[in-house]
Structure 1
C-alpha cells in the first residue's frame, strides 16, 4: 500500500490507469472520496472503486478487462426457450434503492457495497447517471436485478444478483438488446467470470479498453430516458 498514490479528499485527480499494479491486478490508488465528480472522473478514465468497510477507498483498473459488446450477446438454445416462455419481465429504474441494497445483502461471501457506496451511487441515480435493471417473475415478484453507470455510449455494470434460475441471464439478454438499440457500444463487466464469458463477454487488454472508452465516452446515446419495459421477441 505504501507505494500507491494517496489521493486527498480535496484533490480531484487520478494517476493514469496504466500505472496500476500487476499484483494485486489493477490496484491504482488509495483515498479520495466518493463524490459524484470523482466517480464520474473515475469511470471516464477506466477506473472504479472497490473496497470493504475495514479498508480505505481503493481504486482499480484491471488488465485484462472483461467487456461485452451488446450485439455479441450469446443466447443458448436453453436460454432461448426460457426467453420464449416469457416467464420474466424486465424493467429499468423502477426500484434503484431496493436493487442496490439487494446486491449488497445477498452475497454470502460479503460485499464491497458499503453504506457509503450505496449513498454515492444513489446520488448518481438521482442525477440520471446510475441505473437499475429489474427482472420480475409472473407473480410480480423481484427475481433478479443489476445496477450500473451510463456515460456516453458506455454502460458500466457494477453488481448483479439472481433470486431465480436464469433471471440474471434473461436480464443480460434484455439489457444487451436495449443497449444496442440505444447505440451503446460497450458494456464494462470489469472482471471476468464463467457466467459472463458464457453470455458472450470477452477479455481485452487495458490499453484496448481505454481506447474503446475514449472513442465512445463522449458520444450521445439515443435514449431519452432509462425507464422502459422490454420483452423478448417471440
Structure 2
C-alpha cells in the first residue's frame, strides 16, 4: 500500500520513491506526494524522473492503492524515481480547498445551509448546499464575511482520530463523519482555527492568510431547496 505522505506534509514539492509495480501505463510507488482525485479536489500533476528519463504524471487515482498514470511506458518495478509536483496547480487546490472549508462553516453558521457537494479547480470552485435561494445581497455579504475570516490569519491544522472517538466528541454537523464509508476507522480531521473542524483527506494551506481574496461570483438553483455557489480567489 502506497504511503500517502501528502497527508502529513502539504508543503513539500518533491520526493523520492521506489516503483513497486506497473499496471499498463500506471505506476504504483511505495510512497507519494501526488494527491489522488477525491473529495472534490482534482488529482495532482507533475513529473517522475529516473535515469535521465522523465514521465509526465497525467492522472492519480486511489483504488486498492494509489496509481500514477504516466505519458509513456512506466519505469520497471524496483526503479528509484524522483517525483516533482506541479506546484502552481497544487497550491491553487490547497487555497481553494481551505476556502471551501471556511465557506461551508460560514453557510452552516449564518444560513443554516449544509454543504452537500463541492468541486475545486485551479482557478475557481463551487459548492452545493441545502438552501432555498441566495440573493445578490447574500452573495455580497458572503464575500465580505469570508474575507473577514481569511484576514483573521487562523492556523490550519490536521490530525487523525479513531472514528469512535471522533463520533463521540465532535460536532456531527461540522465534521460530517456520517458521509464516510463504514470501512474507514481512522478519521483525518482538519481544523481552521476555532472556526471549523471537519473530516477531510485533502491538502490545505497552513494559515488562512494564504488563501487570498475571496469573491462569490454567482449562484444557480440545482433542485428543490439546493443552491450552487461559485467563487474565485485572487492574490
More strand by share: 2
Structure number with higher relative contact order (C-alpha < 8 Å, ≥ 6 residues apart): 1
Which protein shows a greater Rg? 2
More helix by share: 1
What TM-score results when the alignment is normalised by the length of structure 2?
0.27
What TM-score results when the alignment is normalised by the length of structure 1?
0.27
